[in-house]
Amino acid sequence: MNAPLPHFVETFVDDGYVDMYKVMRAFRELNFDGAMIPDHVPEMVGGSRAGTAYTIAYMKALLTRANEEFAA
């Protein structure tokens, strides 16, 4: 993985340099029981809430997949 610094470009959660599914799996493996809050969400058509909704839905879908994988 290449870190973005010193150059950083805001991007959506599914297009960054971090594999978000691996992050969700790590949370599941550690039995994380806290809050996940999206940060620095780019705007999209529909306003800032649309980008936040997209990000939360994406994170929830990945967490659901990780939970299903561990339940199997």
- Model confidence over 30-40: pLDDT tens digits? 999 999 888 88
Domain that holds residue 30: 20-71
Residue 15 lies in a domain: no
pLDDT in tens, 39-57: 888 888 888 789 889 999 9
Residue 47 lies in a domain: yes
Number of domains in the chain: 1
pLDDT in tens, 1-10: 566 667 777 7
Residue 36 lies in a domain: yes
What per-residue confidence (pLDDT) applies to 13?
A: 87
Residue 24 lies in a domain: yes
Q: 58-61: which pairs have CB atoms within 8 A and are 24 or more residues apart?
A: 58/12, 58/13, 58/14, 58/20, 59/13, 59/20, 59/24
pLDDT at 66 over 70: yes
